[in-house]
Amino acid sequence: MNMNILFGKIYKKKVYYLASAIFIFIGIVYFFSCSQRPFIGLDINNSDGHWYVVTANQNGEGYKSGIRFGDQIFKINSEDAGNYHILRKWGRAEGANSISFSAKENTTEQTITIENPPALQRMLAILPYFLLGFIFWFLGFIAWLKRPSLVQARALFWLNYFLGLAILLAQASSRGLFLGKELEYITFLLTAVALIYFFSIFPLDKENKINKVSCQIVTALAAVFFILLTQLSHPVG
């Protein structure tokens, strides 16, 4: 056997094993990170220099602490709301330990302390999502492991890989963890690309029209992603 071909096959296999190791590492790190930080669940917008709650997730600690839609936020962790970095960047109050606000019906400012649920409760809340993400990756990995030379198996691996990763990162993103939101956007883009590629390897006819359409869609996605990155570089408000 040609040595270049042999080493090429070994190298390609190492890529899949390395990608899988990275997936497991990211999953474990973010699982324990998510389990340490409560989900606040508040989306906040700036209106004429004032910060108002536009969404209060009923499963979030913010809602459970009494914050509702339309309430005005004054301070987060004892600093002006506008100076809180996660709020300015993403319009969220994740990572907050205390929030000063006034209700729509009552203009009196009040401060609440965000309660951190028991560790077991936090882990059980996020466990189904992480299990689902790992299941996606594992099914793709098994498909590739059984038929590593089959192009469809390789395509399925990457499709499941990015789908599973997107599920994991959604939890990290929702809690404002480091690089969670950025990686989530990138992963969603790669998921779309992997999905397009997966379907493109099943041509409808000799001209393979799907490939042509896929190239156009990928180009459009790249343009949208570039615009998205530009927007992400500017903080909210």
Burial of 89 by CB count in 10 Å (0-12 exposed, 13-18 middle, 19+ buried)?
A: middle
pLDDT digits (tens, 9 = 90+) for 141-178: 999 999 888 888 888 899 899 989 988 998 898 888 88
Query: In terms of Cα–Cα distance, which of 107, 112, 108, 105 is closest to 42?
Result: 112
The model's pTM is 0.75
pLDDT digits (tens, 9 = 90+) for 54-73: 999 888 889 988 899 999 99
Give the CA distances from residue 162 to residues 37, 200, 202, in Å, rounded to whole numbers and listed in that order: 24, 17, 20
Give the integer Cα–Cα distance in Å for 229 and 186. Answer: 9
pLDDT digits (tens, 9 = 90+) for 101-126: 988 777 788 888 888 888 888 888 88
